[in-house]
Structure 1
């Protein structure tokens, strides 16, 4: 494998066709590996963030592509150099685009990354687990001061089947019937949208407007929050729509969108990426109604699976939990270098891991004492 660096996805030496061929060959690739998504991420980089793309070739065939960001971040209160995969933190799930035949070369890859991008911490988040890859990362662990593999997400998924044509039972059926009745009474309609390059910009503006007035917009945590994220989303969603990788279901009332679910589509799998609704329509219960519409649409178009994309590891309130038939685990790999900054950060993190259980027990005892009735 021949390894070399490129500095930009739009550079003349970046092999876009070879990249797409590599992505198509690897079954674990997700929409967040799509060049359109990564192009948007590159254009939204903040000052001080440096993009470095490691390419690996076997004769004329691209077999490895790692687009990496190097930047200063505060870790444990210290400003340190950190390396991450391009797309962080808005990419819900990524695959490392490395042909399995090249996994034994990962030790050489890490050495090259460290020479080109000196850092205290290299962290790869929301990585899809691959058979055999965990063992190959042992080489990175051996050459690190400290390394950690953690489960970062267990995203629910629902595999579509003929049974989904029947109305769900129990409490879910009651909630869906109630939401449909409210929609009917207020004259709202449910739309399925498959945007293309001509229609996506106006649609993005409508979705942004809904999110801005929702709690996500108020707290500044939405995918359209801030100028950089907004530019990223408009660029990325435009490219995904042009590639027919975008689906939207929405509730429309009096000609305007009041609630929507945005999904990214890849190889028969719909990634339920974002949900937002206008606060005055919160009682409508449109979230479950739109999730049910995903399932109905999937049955009509022969999708294989509805995927929650990403959820919190604990306390997730994603409505797909009510209908899940399985789950997709995502991992976070963290490697602390043997540079002085990496040694210090690893020591601080190790101390925090030892101290955290004690603090949690203490907090639990304090909460229990506070809950006891006064004599």
Structure 2
């Protein structure tokens, strides 16, 4: 197999047609793996990172694309050249674009060998995060890492790194409510009554280019008044993050994927949610509310209205987004798990980190065995 390393932005941009052909034919044709999403992400984070997109071809046919970058990270507290996905905080899942046919596993094995030989001087740590637990990418990496551990004695690990709460939309809103607790239903009624007594509540959804200007104005207005603004983590706290959302909403290929839902009280936007429509799944990227309205729970009210609308739609799943914030557990107990793959290279720093990981694993195992041995026996004498 032939492997090409793309390190120029112009070459990355020109790859779009072939990229999308492979994505749409892969097991997970997610929008978060699309050329357009990755391009928007790269535009925001490219200043401090180096582009590394690997394209694997078999007889001129692309069978794998790895959208990666080189970055600088610190670990215990060793500075490391790290190879990772082109990762953005709003990315919900990541992975390789891999052909579904039998050439997929061979392509992954070839890529790992290439990274450990031809590109071995560039990186000390390989980190692939937010990989879906049951995806082909995860399975290929389990098999590939095991094989390379034997052949090249590299140190690698694969663990659950993130969880995302979700709700299956295979029932009605009323059926969903019936399954929730009496306390939950009472709280939701109280929130609705309290908020509607304060004025005229209206939920508006914006999607498509014609709605971008108004949607962005209201989205940023809510962000400016959220508690996140004081902590410096709001959308409007960073010019580049604001531009990311503008690019996403204005893009010819991305605008119809983005939805902005706004809750207004007497015409004033007080809560918002930015969503990505990805096939049958609706992902919540960002949820905000104006902090001075916190006492009437505008976020909870908007969440209920969003779900009520989705249960009546043709969508199959609502995903709350990566991270198990406390409020999400009020709505669902269901979780998707995402994996993090780490491979330690044979550079000096990579070996140091790999050795530290091995010893930590042994210590954790020893402590677990010791705790187990200290559990009193329940067997009758």
User: Normalising by the residue count of structure 2, what TM-score does the alignment of the two structures yield?
Assistant: 0.83
How far, CA to CA, are the matches of 1:112 and 1:357 in structure 2? Answer: 33
* Aligned pairs for 1:173-188 within 5 A: 173-188=185-200
Which of 318, 339, 350 pairs up with 2:347?
A: 339
Which of 260, 277, 289 pairs up with 1:277?
A: 289
CA contact (8 A) 1:211 1:276 kept: yes
Label 1:93 to 1:240 Cα distance change in 2 as closer, same or farther (>3 A).
farther
How far off is 1:309 after superposition? Answer: 2.1
User: Normalising by the residue count of structure 1, what TM-score does the alignment of the two structures yield?
Assistant: 0.84
How far, CA to CA, are the matches of 1:240 and 1:308 in structure 2? Answer: 26
Label 1:10 to 1:188 Cα distance change in 2 as closer, same or farther (>3 A).
farther
Which of 119, 123, 130 pairs up with 1:119?
A: 123
* Aligned pairs for 1:104-143 within 5 A: 104-114=106-116, 115-116=118-119, 118-129=122-133, 130=135, 132-133=139-140, 134-142=142-150, 143=152
CA contact (8 A) 2:9 2:51 kept: no
Match of 2:4 in 1: 4
Give 3-state SS (helix, strand or coil) of 1:333's partner. Answer: strand
Match of 1:148 in 2: 157
Give 3-state SS (helix, strand or coil) of 2:237's partner. Answer: coil
Paired residues, number: 356
Label 1:262 to 1:13 Cα distance change in 2 as closer, same or farther (>3 A).
closer
* Aligned pairs for 1:214-233 within 5 A: 214-233=226-245
Q: Does 1:54 align with 2:50?
A: no
CA deviation string 1:189-223 (max 9, x = no partner): 23241421232244234323322332222222344
Label 1:345 to 1:242 Cα distance change in 2 as closer, same or farther (>3 A).
closer
Give 3-state SS (helix, strand or coil) of 1:308's partner. Answer: strand
* Aligned pairs for 1:179-258 within 5 A: 179-239=191-251, 242-258=254-270
Match of 1:365 in 2: none
CA contact (8 A) 1:23 1:33 kept: yes
CA contact (8 A) 1:246 1:264 kept: yes
How far off is 1:233 after superposition? Answer: 2.9
How far, CA to CA, are the matches of 2:94 and 2:202 in structure 1? Answer: 31
CA deviation string 1:151-208 (max 9, x = no partner): 1122221111334244724112112211211232122423241421232244234323
CA contact (8 A) 2:203 2:262 kept: yes
CA deviation string 1:80-122 (max 9, x = no partner): 2011100244322223211243113322202323423621101
Label 1:9 to 1:32 Cα distance change in 2 as closer, same or farther (>3 A).
farther
Which of 97, 103, 106 pairs up with 2:105?
A: 103
How far, CA to CA, are the matches of 2:110 and 2:6 in structure 1? Answer: 18
Moved more, 266-275 or 104-113: 104-113
Give 3-state SS (helix, strand or coil) of 1:161's partner. Answer: coil
Moved more, 27-36 or 236-245: 236-245
Label 1:296 to 1:58 Cα distance change in 2 as closer, same or farther (>3 A).
farther
Give 3-state SS (helix, strand or coil) of 1:153's partner. Answer: strand
Question: Which structure 1 segments of 5+ residues have no match?
Answer: 360-375
Match of 2:307 in 1: 295
- Taking only aligned residues, the RMSD between alpha carbons, in angstroms, comes to 2.9
Label 1:214 to 1:350 Cα distance change in 2 as closer, same or farther (>3 A).
farther
Match of 2:378 in 1: none
Moved more, 229-238 or 325-334: 229-238
How far, CA to CA, are the matches of 1:141 and 1:274 in structure 2? Answer: 39
How far off is 1:61 after superposition? Answer: 4.1
Label 1:232 to 1:356 Cα distance change in 2 as closer, same or farther (>3 A).
farther
How far, CA to CA, are the matches of 1:225 and 1:39 in structure 2? Answer: 22
Match of 1:164 in 2: 173
Match of 1:328 in 2: 336
CA deviation string 1:306-361 (max 9, x = no partner): 1122114xxx4142x334363211000011111111011223344555678999xx
Question: Which structure 2 segments of 5+ residues have no match?
Answer: 368-381
